C-alpha cells in the first residue's frame, strides 16, 4: 500500500541551479537514510554525479534549442511512501524504479533513493526536467498526481502489495497519515512471532506449535489453523496473514523445502539495469555539439561497466551463452504476450456472445409478434431497436462454428478461467519484459563493441597493405 505525491523542485531565490540541485539530491542520497547508498538505483545517470549530469543536459538543451528556461522548475520529485512493515527496502526500491520508468516513459534520467530511517519505508524519485535527448522539457499537467497514483497502484498490485482503495487528497506522507507511533496490529505481531520461531529452525511442525504456545499464543486446530494471544478477542487464521504464512508454507520452511524469507534483511539482490550505448558518430552527424559528445563518451563508459556487471552477475561471460539467453528470454516474453492476447481476444468474444444471448432472449417475444403481424412496417418502426438487436443476435449465432449454443453460465465459467490465466500471465509479463530488455540491451552493447573492434582491425589491415 503506497501513497504518492508529485512535487516540482524550484530554483530558490539567491541560489544557483547547481546549489539547489545539490541540496535536493544530497538529501535524497543521505547515506544514513539509504543504508550507505545500498538502496539507491538510477536510470541514465550516475547518482554520484547526478547534479553535474542534470546541469550538462540543461546546457545542451540551450545549445540545441536556443531556448532559455522560462520557469524555475529544475527537476521533479515523486514521493512514494509504503505502509509500515509491508515491504522490504529492496522491493521498495524496485517498485520505485518501475514507477519512475513508467511515468517518465524512459524519456528522463532519474534516480531512486529508498529511505529506511522512518517507521514507513519511502522513496524519493528525482527525475530531470530535461529529456534525455535534451530537446524537450517535462511539463506538469492537470491530473499528473492522479496519474502517478494510478501507476503506483498497478505496480503495487503486480507485486502483491495492498493499495489505498479510497485515497483522500492531501499532502501528507504515510508517516503523517498513519502516524509513526501507530500501534502494531495483532496480525503483524503474529507474523513477527512466527518469523522469530522460524528463524530458530524448529525440528518439526509440532515443535513449532509448542514454541508458539510458549510465546503466549492459544492454538485452534480444525479446518483452518488459528492463533490468539491474550490481547486478542478473536483467533487469527494463518491463511489471513498473506503470502508466506499459510500452514503449508510454514511446514515447507521447517522441512527445508522452502527458504526462510527473513523480512528484516531480504537476501534478494536488485537486478542491474542495462542501458543501450549511444551511437556518438551518428549523433554528431545529426547536429549534436561538442558538449553532447563529452557527455556521451562518459555515458558509454558507464554503460559498458554496467553491461559487464550484468553479464558477470548472470553468468553470461561467453558470447554463445549470451546468444542462447537472448533467444530464451525473447521466446518466453513473446509466449506470455501471445497468451495474454489470446485470452483477451476470447474474453472479448465471450462478452459479445453473452450480450447477444441475453438480447435474443429479451427480444424473442417482440420478434414473434412482428412475424405474426406479417412483418408490418408500422410495427417495425415502433420496435426498431428490439428487432435490430434480435437480428444481430441471430447473425452472431449463425457465425458460430458449433451448432449448439452455449449457455450464459458456461460462458461466465469460461470467462472466469481465462481471467485467472490472464492475471497469472500478466504477473510474469513485466518481469519477463524487463529481463528480455536487459539481456537484449547487453547483447546489443557487446555486438556494437565487437563490431567496432572488427572495423578497427579491418582499417589497420587496409593501412598495412598500403
CB 411 within 8 A of CB 349: no
Q: What angle do CA 422, 423, 429 make, to 5 degrees?
A: 85
Q: Is 68 helix (H, G, I), strand (E, B) or coil?
A: coil
* Per-residue model confidence as pLDDT tens digits over 38-80: 899 998 888 888 887 888 788 788 878 777 766 668 899 999 9
pLDDT (0 to 100) of residue 284: 63
305 pLDDT above the threshold of 90: no
Burial grade of 13 (CB within 10 A; 0-12, 13-18, 19 or more) = exposed
Cα distance between residue 269 and residue 94, in whole Å: 10
CB 218 within 8 A of CB 231: no
Backbone angles phi, psi at 75, to 5 degrees: -165, 175
pLDDT band at 124 (very low <50, low <70, confident <90, very high): very high
pLDDT band at 174 (very low <50, low <70, confident <90, very high): very low
Alpha-helical runs (H) found in 275-407: 280-285, 290-313, 319-372, 377-382, 384-398
Q: What is the mean pLDDT of residues 413-418?
A: 89
Residue 179 C-alpha cell reads as 502516524
* Per-residue model confidence as pLDDT tens digits over 352-361: 888 888 888 8
pLDDT band at 103 (very low <50, low <70, confident <90, very high): very high
How does DSSP classify residue 14?
A: T
pLDDT band at 270 (very low <50, low <70, confident <90, very high): very low
Backbone angles phi, psi at 122, to 5 degrees: -145, 155
CB 99 within 8 A of CB 151: yes
Q: What is the mean pLDDT of the chain?
A: 81
Cα distance between residue 243 and residue 330, in whole Å: 29
Q: What is the mean pLDDT of residues 277-298?
A: 70
Counts of helices then strands in the chain (DSSP H, E): 14, 8
Q: What is the DSSP string of 212-273?
A: HHHTT-EEE-SSS-EEE-TT-SS-EEGGGS-TT-SHHHHHHHHTTSS----TTS--PPPPP-
Q: What is the mean pLDDT of residues 401-430?
A: 83
pLDDT band at 104 (very low <50, low <70, confident <90, very high): very high
210 pLDDT above the threshold of 60: yes
Cα distance between residue 44 and residue 310, in whole Å: 15
pLDDT (0 to 100) of residue 256: 85
288 pLDDT above the threshold of 80: no
Of residues 285 and 241, the one with the higher pLDDT is 241
Weakest-pLDDT range from 27-36, 91-100, 261-270, 420-429: 261-270
Cα distance between residue 77 and residue 28, in whole Å: 10
Amino acid at each position: 500500500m503506497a501513497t504518492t505525491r508529485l512535487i516540482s523542485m524550484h530554483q530558490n531565490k539567491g541560489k544557483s541551479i547547481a546549489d539547489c540541485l545539490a541540496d535536493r539530491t544530497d538529501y535524497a542520497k543521505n547515506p544514513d537514510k539509504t543504508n550507505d547508498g545500498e538502496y539507491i538505483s538510477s536510470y541514465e545517470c550516475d547518482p554520484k554525479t547526478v547534479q553535474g549530469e542534470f546541469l550538462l543536459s540543461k546546457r545542451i538543451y540551450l545549445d540545441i534549442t536556443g531556448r532559455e528556461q522560462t520557469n524555475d522548475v529544475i527537476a521533479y520529485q515523486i514521493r512514494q511512501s509504503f505502509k509500515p512493515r509491508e515491504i522490504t527496502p529492496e522491493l521498495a526500491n524496485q517498485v520505485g524504479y518501475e514507477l519512475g520508468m513508467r511515468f517518465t516513459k524512459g524519456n528522463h534520467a532519474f534516480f531512486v533513493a529508498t529511505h529506511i530511517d522512518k517507521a514507513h519505508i519511502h522513496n524519493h524519485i528525482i527525475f530531470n526536467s530535461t529529456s534525455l535527448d535534451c530537446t524537450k522539457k517535462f511539463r506538469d499537467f492537470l491530473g499528473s498526481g492522479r496519474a502517478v497514483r494510478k501507476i503506483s497502484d498497478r505496480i503495487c498490485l503486480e507485486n502483491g502489495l495492498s493499495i489505498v482503495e479510497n485515497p483522500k487528497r492531501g499532502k501528507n506522507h504515510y508517516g503523517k497519515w498513519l502516524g509513526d507511533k501507530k500501534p502494531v496490529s495483532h496480525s503483524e505481531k503474529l507474523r513477527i512471532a512466527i518469523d522469530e520461531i522460524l528463524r530458530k529452525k524448529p525440528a518439526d511442525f509440532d515443535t513449532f506449535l509448542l514454541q508458539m504456545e510458549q510465546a503466549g499464543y492459544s492454538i485452534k486446530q480444525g479446518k483452518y489453523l488459528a492463533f490468539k494471544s491474550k490481547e486478542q478477542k478473536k483467533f487469527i487464521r494463518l491463511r489471513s496473514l498473506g503470502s508466506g504464512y499459510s500452514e503449508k508454507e510454514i511446514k515447507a520452511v521447517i522441512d527445508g523445502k522452502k527458504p526462510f524469507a527473513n523480512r528484516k534483511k531480504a537476501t534478494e539482490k536488485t537486478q542491474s539495469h542495462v542501458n543501450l550505448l549511444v551511437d556518438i558518430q551518428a549523433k554528431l552527424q545529426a547536429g549534436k555539439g561538442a558538449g553532447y559528445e563529452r557527455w556521451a563518451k562518459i555515458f558509454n563508459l558507464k554503460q559498458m561497466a554496467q553491461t559487464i556487471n550484468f553479464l558477470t552477475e548472470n553468468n553470461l561471460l561467453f558470447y554463445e551463452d549470451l546468444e542462447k539467453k537472448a533467444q530464451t528470454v525473447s521466446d518466453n516474453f513473446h509466449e506470455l504476450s501471445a497468451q495474454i492476447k489470446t485470452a483477451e481476444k476470447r474474453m472479448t468474444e465471450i462478452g459479445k456472445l453473452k450480450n447477444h444471448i441475453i438480447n435474443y432472449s429479451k427480444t424473442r417475444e417482440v420478434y414473434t409478434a412482428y412475424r405474426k403481424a406479417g412483418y408490418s412496417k408500422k410495427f417495425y418502426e415502433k420496435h426498431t431497436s428490439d428487432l435490430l438487436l434480435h437480428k444481430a443476435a441471430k447473425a452472431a449465432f449463425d457465425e458460430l462454428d458449433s451448432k449448439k449454443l452455449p449457455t450464459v453460465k458456461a460462458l461466465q465459467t469460461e470467462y472466469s478461467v481465462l481471467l485467472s490465466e490472464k492475471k497469472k500471465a500478466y504477473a510474469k509479463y513485466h518481469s519477463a519484459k524487463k529481463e528480455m530488455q536487459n539481456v537484449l540491451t547487453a547483447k546489443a552493447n557487446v555486438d556494437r563493441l565487437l563490431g567496432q573492434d572488427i572495423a578497427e582491425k579491418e582499417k589497420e589491415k587496409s593501412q598495412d597493405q598500403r
